[in-house]
Each structure stands twice: as C-alpha cells, then as structure tokens.
Structure 1
Amino acid sequence: MTTFALVGAGPGLGLATARRFGTAGHTVALISRNAQRLDDLATELARDGIQARGFTADVLDIESLDSALYAAGATLGPVEILQYSPVPRADFMKPILDTGADDLDDPLAFSVKGPVTCVNAVLPGMCELGRGTLLFVNGSSAVRPHPDRAGTSIAFAGESAYARMLHDALAPENIHVAQLIVPGAIRPDAEHSSPEALAQRLYDIHHKRDGFRHYSEPLPD
C-alpha cells in the first residue's frame, strides 16, 4: 500500500482530497501546523475506513517538513502521491508598491523552499517505486500576477517554474508533475471549485497523467 501525502491539511479541500485518495486505497499522511486539527481529520477519515495519520510540521520550517514526510513514509508506506496546497497567509498579499525585499522572505519560503523540501523528501521513494505524482495547487496569481497580491504573485510564479521544470525532468522516471490553478474561492456550492469537485479533478490528473497545467475553471476576463 502506498501513501498520499497532503501538505496543508485542512477541513475543506484537504479533507476532500484525503477522502478521495483514501477511498482509492491509499493510506493518508496529513501534514499541517495544527496537531488538534490533524487528529480531528484523521478521526473523520477513519469513520470512512481510511487509514490516516497526522504529522505536525510548518512549511516555513524546512527541518520539520522534511522530518514529517520521512516519518510518513516510514510509518504508512512509501509516498506515491504528494499534494502541496497550504493556504498562504494574508500578509503575503501586500500591494506591489508597499512590498519590500524583506516582505518576500516568507512567501518565497512558503511557495518555493517548501515545495523543494517536500519533493526532495519523497522523490527517492517514488524512484524506488518506479512511479509517482506531484500535485501543486495554486490560485490565479500563479499565472496572472495581481498588483495587490505581490508576495503570492511572485512566489507562485517561482513555484510554477519549479513544478514545470520537474514535469519535464521527471517524466522519464514515470513521475508525473502537474499544477491545478483554482481562479476563485473554493466554495461548497461552486460547480467546479467545490472541495469535492477539486478533489475529483486532482484524482483525475493523477490517474490520467495528461499534461502539466490544469484549470478548475476558466480565468475571468
């Protein structure tokens, strides 16, 4: 049995994707800063017969993130699928003219150093398995920079470039890398951007392995 590792576990999209991959037969590693939330999510998934366990880590703390993913693979089974979808902090989204160099430290750590740490932690196991999937979830500023959300626009662009290079470099290793852009808010009543619809879309991307960038719905004009 292989593991679906979710970085940025929460009660919305995180729970929905954990349930979707868990019902497909994967064990689930839930990773976030909030230990109580992780326990609650694991308990809820267990009611559906899904084996899940929480691992506490902060994506801004490389050592904790690396340790969490190592522990997940060691205790639940090798990580075959990694989803990186933590929610950026509100203070990452200053207007461009109010953004100084120091304001970019945390956004870049969050959206570039965090993904690099995660990939380096799980890649050896995927190579040993002979297969794997790396899923990156971003908002529209990853492809259309927004002047009022400078930190995430700059950092998401870096994450996108990193993921795109991985897509090309890892294809010969049977490791699929893909990005899902969610243009608007994730809402329970949204046809294409509800947690359940996005979870199914991410599972389909993993299963079909067709291309790098996907959109939950078209970008607004």
Structure 2
Amino acid sequence: MTTIAIIGAGSGLGLAVARRFAREGFSVALVARHQGRVDALAETLTSEGFQARGFSANVRDAESLRAALEQAAEQLGPVEVVQYSPLPAKEFMRPVLETVAEDLVGPVEFSIYGPVTVAHQVIPGMRALKGGTLLFVNGASAVRPRDAVTGTSIAFAGESAYAQLLHEALAPEGIHVGQLIIPRGIGGGEESHEPTVLADTLWRMHSEKGEFRVYAASLD
C-alpha cells in the first residue's frame, strides 16, 4: 500500500481528499502543526475502515517537515502522492504599500521553502516507485495578484513557478506535478468549490496526469 501525505490537513478539503484517496486504496498521512487535530482526523478515518495516521510538522520548519514525511513513509508505506495545501496566516495578507521586506519572510518560508523541502524529501521515493504526484493547492492570487494580500500573492507566485519547473523536469520520469487554483475560496455556495468536488478534481489530476494547472472554476 502506498501513501498520500496531505500537508495542511484539516476537517474540510483535507478530510475530503483523504477519504477520496483512501477509497482508492491509499493509506493517509495527515500532516499539520497540531498533533491533536490530525490525530482526531486520523481517528475519524480509521473508524470508517481506512488506514490513517497524524503527524505534526510546521511547514516553516524544514526539519520537522522532513521528519513527518519520513515517519509517514516508514509507518504507512511509500509516499506516492503529496498534497501541499496549508492555510496561509492572516498576517501574510497586507496591502502592498504597507508591506515591508520583513513581512515577506513568513510567506516565502511557507509557500516556497516548504514546497522545496517537501519535494526533495519525497522525490527519491517516487523515483523508486517509478511514479508519483505532487499536488499544490492555491487561491487565485497565485495567478492574479491582489493588493490586499501582497505577501501571499508574491509567495504563491514563487510557489507556482517552482511547481511548474518541477512539472517540466519530472514529467519524463513519470512523476506528475499539478496545481489546483481555487478562486474565491473553498465552499461559499459554489458546487465546484465544495470539498468533495475538489477532492474528485484532485483525484483526477493524480490519476490522469494531464496539464500542470487546473482551475476549479473561472477566475471571473
């Protein structure tokens, strides 16, 4: 059995994706900062007959992130799929004229250093499996920067560039890298934005290994 590692796992999209991939035979590693929260999610999945465990890590702490992914592979099976979708902090979102250099440290660590750490941790295992998928989930500011969320806009743009470069570099090896853009946030009354629908979209991105970027809905 191989594993999907959901980084930034929560009770919304994370849990929906966990269930979707678990139904396809994956074990599930739930990774987030608070051990109690991911343990509760894992307990829910276990009660439904799935194999799941929680692992604590801070995406701004490379050592903890590498350790969580290493433990997940050891305890659940090789990591075949990673979903990188932690929720950005509110302090990352300031108007552009109020944003100083120090304000960008957190967003860059969160959205660029974190993904780079994850990729270098899991790619060797995916190569051993002769395939795998890295999925990055972002809001619309990744492709359409907004003044009100300057830090996230800048950092998401860097994450997007890195992910696309990975897509191009790894495709010849059978490893897919994809980015899902979710305009206007998860839920909100739009059917295409509901967690279960988004989970189906992410499953298709993994199973079909198509284009790099997929939009949950039109930006407009």
Residue by residue over 1:47-92, the C-alpha shift from the partner in whole angstroms, topping out at 9 and shown as x without a partner, is 2211000010001111100100011111111000000000000110
Residue 153 (structure 2) aligns with: 153
Cα drift, residue 187 of structure 1: 1.3
Question: Residue type of the partner of 1:201?
Answer: T
TM-score (norm 2): 0.99
What are the within-5 Å matches in structure 2 for residues 98-177 of structure 1?
98-177=98-177
Residue 5 (structure 2) aligns with: 5
Note if contact 1:188-1:195 (Cα within 8 Å) is conserved in structure 2.
Answer: no
Which whole-Å CA distance do the structure 2 matches of 1:188 and 1:25 have between them? 30
1:46 aligns with 2:46: yes
Question: Residue type of the partner of 1:33?
Answer: R
Q: Structure 1's 15 and 188: CA in aligned 2 closer, same or farther, altered over 3 A?
A: farther
Residue by residue over 1:9-54, the C-alpha shift from the partner in whole angstroms, topping out at 9 and shown as x without a partner, is 1000000001100111000000001111111100111122110000
Cα drift, residue 143 of structure 1: 0.1
TM-score (norm 1): 0.98
Residue 186 (structure 1) aligns with: 186
Which whole-Å CA distance do the structure 2 matches of 1:185 and 1:35 have between them? 25
Cα drift, residue 163 of structure 1: 0.3
Note if contact 1:12-1:195 (Cα within 8 Å) is conserved in structure 2.
Answer: yes
Which whole-Å CA distance do the structure 2 matches of 1:161 and 1:175 have between them? 17
Gaps (5+ residues) in structure 1? none
Which whole-Å CA distance do the structure 1 matches of 2:82 and 2:149 have between them? 26
SS in structure 2 opposite 1:80? strand
Segments of 4+ in structure 1 off by > 2 A? Answer: none
Which whole-Å CA distance do the structure 2 matches of 1:218 and 1:189 have between them? 15
Residue 197 (structure 1) aligns with: 197
SS in structure 1 opposite 2:148? coil
Which whole-Å CA distance do the structure 2 matches of 1:199 and 1:42 have between them? 17
Which whole-Å CA distance do the structure 2 matches of 1:96 and 1:51 have between them? 44
Question: Residue type of the partner of 2:128?
Answer: E
Question: Residue type of the partner of 1:92?
Answer: F
Question: Residue type of the partner of 1:182?
Answer: I
Aligned length: 220
Residue 33 (structure 1) aligns with: 33
Residue by residue over 1:87-107, the C-alpha shift from the partner in whole angstroms, topping out at 9 and shown as x without a partner, is 000110000000000000000
- Provide the aligned C-alpha RMSD in A: 0.8
Which whole-Å CA distance do the structure 1 matches of 2:29 and 2:93 have between them? 29
Higher deviation after alignment, 188-197 or 130-139:
188-197
Note if contact 1:82-1:135 (Cα within 8 Å) is conserved in structure 2.
Answer: yes
What are the within-5 Å matches in structure 2 for residues 44-83 of structure 1?
44-83=44-83
Question: Residue type of the partner of 1:45?
Answer: L
Cα drift, residue 188 of structure 1: 6.8
